[in-house]
Chain A
């Protein structure tokens, strides 16, 4: 294999596949990236057994071939290469590639090709297409509620459904729940998948601001095709809980409040909490205003009032600061409606003027 490739293109490709290179590989082969060259392009593949990423790009291919190269060294070598062009030559006899950029030359030992994991075998029964920015928004608005606790594995992923009325992305971890939907995609062939949180977070970084995303769903795998990238992830097995059971019907208190205004007040309150954003803030809702307060023995106290529109009873309730900020930020709206169900019940936050999102947050209580 002999190729010549632009540094910037190559670096971006390497960073893309880097998302599926494990930090602590269980076997050496997983720390490598598979480079394949044919015709006038090259393909890079990484595979951590849960997820694989493939990306193609233009290159001058003088001699086709393939090799597995340690990803970290190759990425750093490309990042630091002195010239815009990089040429690679595979030396199968010496199990190495020769890396040349300007006058810099490196010989990098390759990894055994036969030890690189086989690509996952899957068949995709369903395929849907939606704009990348929409998919990105959906993921951004729910990813914070994906659980990190292994206790209930299905909750460590986001539940994506494609139905007759809309497509929906849902995540919940027991004290938060977020759901975003869009009528952009409707189908008479419904399907659903629980996408692992890691894949969601990687997609969030990889998806662009234009172009389309094609989502393919099979029994155990889902494939995401966009911008010349294919990300294939194993799906989480099990039943995702029906979220309707967690959402109470009638609110006791409803407020409409400026999201930024409330968010900033909470940020200020966090300043006097010993644990900062891990601390808790008290909201006191009464007479069309919300009083935000926090205190700690070590740092002092905070109090401020914000005007709101209120319907229903007055209420005192406490929240974890970080979670409340995430809920307000994820609504992605100037104003939000928040429905409360008592001091120890869930609150549900919806953007004003957009019927495509809500999040639920449970309060904290003193024990």
Chain B
């Protein structure tokens, strides 16, 4: 890996809300909240900057959002439309470099190392990309430039919306150190509490902290990772689509649950989403991984190898269900995730002389469901047990 990389992080501003404001001019300047009707159980998936002024945030329950912003415009959202816009944006990225790593529908890393000779310095490229997004898609984006992914992401967040920030190596300390430690990758509420106990509140505090003492509190591996990040060091490469190692979805329950039926329904819904994405990318995987987080944050992952690579919802669901039933200890579950790994294109299929009707039917069903979703949106069809789970909020992609 080259020592001096140039990484660009692009994050679309209030993506879903911006698209609605683009298509419905009367919504411009109004607090727009995407996620559903305020009386529905569910959470905010995106809200416009106007809504953020009233304290509305992503992932906030809709009822709470309504309490804070009763005059807001609540919309269910239209994933098919957002996905189309997202594709336009990613096509723009690809005009500049093939090294695009999508993080989600509205966010990506671009490795610009080696592109600068072609298109000008990184700042020029970032400005061009932002202009093209405004011109061709009609929304704004925030961009961050740095010599690694972590800093690029921090940078894009510094001047939202419509921002452009370049963190140069000599500025790392000045920009990074005053930020709260929660901004570090991998620091959630639990780690943050531990760090606070050590008197660490900012990234700077952590960077200066004795690594051995840190290792005692967090374990050597985590300690080293966080210490490096705090010093602005991040070696992770930009992974393009072709190098995607796994594809997965996770779901955090609104309330921890020990209701196995509910968990299984979510598992099927997640399997459906993973299968859909695999098929869209023409990928198949041979390993299914289940991630389970209990109410006390104990987290475990289990893997199962399939006899053949698959992209079928039912194969993914059956394998992950088996794993779940094997490990589940009856405690309330906070989060469940399923992913498919060991991915390949053009998989090899073992032919059978027995009637393979089940598999053929499942394949046909997947094709039919995909066609319906392509035409009428992601929530137009699902399995019966997942019908209550349909929401416009995309489950978090880890």
Contacts and interface: CB of A to CB of B under 8 A. Distances in A.
Contact of B354 (A174, A364, A367): A174
Contacts of A172: 354
Q: Which of B346, B347, B349, B350 has the most CB of A within 10 A?
A: B350
A246 interface: yes
Contacts of A320: 348, 350
B348 A175 contact: no
Nearest to B355: A174
A175 B346 contact: no
Contact of B353 (A177, A280, A364, A367): A177
Contact of A174 (B347, B348, B349, B352): B352
A360 interface: yes
Contacts of B353: 174-175, 177, 246, 346, 360, 362
Contact of B347 (A177, A241, A360, A367): A367
Contacts of A364: 348-351
Interface string B313-353: 00000000000000000000000000000000011111111
Contacts of B350: 175, 320, 362, 364
Contact of B351 (A152, A241, A344): A344
Interface residues of B, number: 10
A364 B346 CA distance: 12
Contacts of A18: none
Chain B contact surface mostly: loop
A318 B348 contact: yes
B348 A367 contact: yes
A280 B352 CA distance: 16
Interface in A148-166: 152
A366 interface: yes
B351 A367 contact: no
Contacts of A367: 346-349
B106 to A, nearest CB: 32
Nearest to B284: A367
A363 B351 contact: yes
A248 B167 CA distance: 70
Contacts of B352: 174-175, 362
Interface residues of A, number: 19
B346 to A, nearest CB: 6
Contacts of B356: 174
Interface string A19-54: 000000000000000000000000000000000000
Nearest to B344: A274
Q: Which of B346, B348, B352 neighbours the largest number of chain A CB atoms within 10 Å of its CB?
A: B348
Contacts of A246: 353
Contacts of B346: 366-367
Interface string A341-361: 000101000000000000010
Contacts of A362: 350-353
Contacts of B348: 280, 318, 320, 364-367
Contacts of A280: 348
A365 B349 contact: yes
A246 B354 CA distance: 8
Interface string A211-244: 0000000000000000000000000000001000
A151 to B, nearest CB: 8
Nearest to A280: B348
Contacts of A174: 352-354, 356
A336 B352 CA distance: 23
Contacts of A177: 353
Interface string B41-76: 000000000000000000000000000000000000
Interface of A: 152, 172, 174-175, 177, 241, 246, 280, 318, 320, 344, 346, 360, 362-367
Interface of B: 346-354, 356
30 contacts: A172-B354, A174-B352, A174-B353, A174-B354, A174-B356, A175-B350, A175-B351, A175-B352, A175-B353, A241-B354, A280-B348, A320-B348, A320-B350, A344-B351, A346-B353, A360-B353, A362-B351, A362-B352, A362-B353, A364-B348, A364-B350, A365-B349, A365-B351, A366-B346, A366-B348, A366-B349, A367-B346, A367-B347, A367-B348, A367-B349
What 4 pairs between A and B have smallest CB-CB spacing? A174-B354, A174-B352, A362-B351, A367-B349
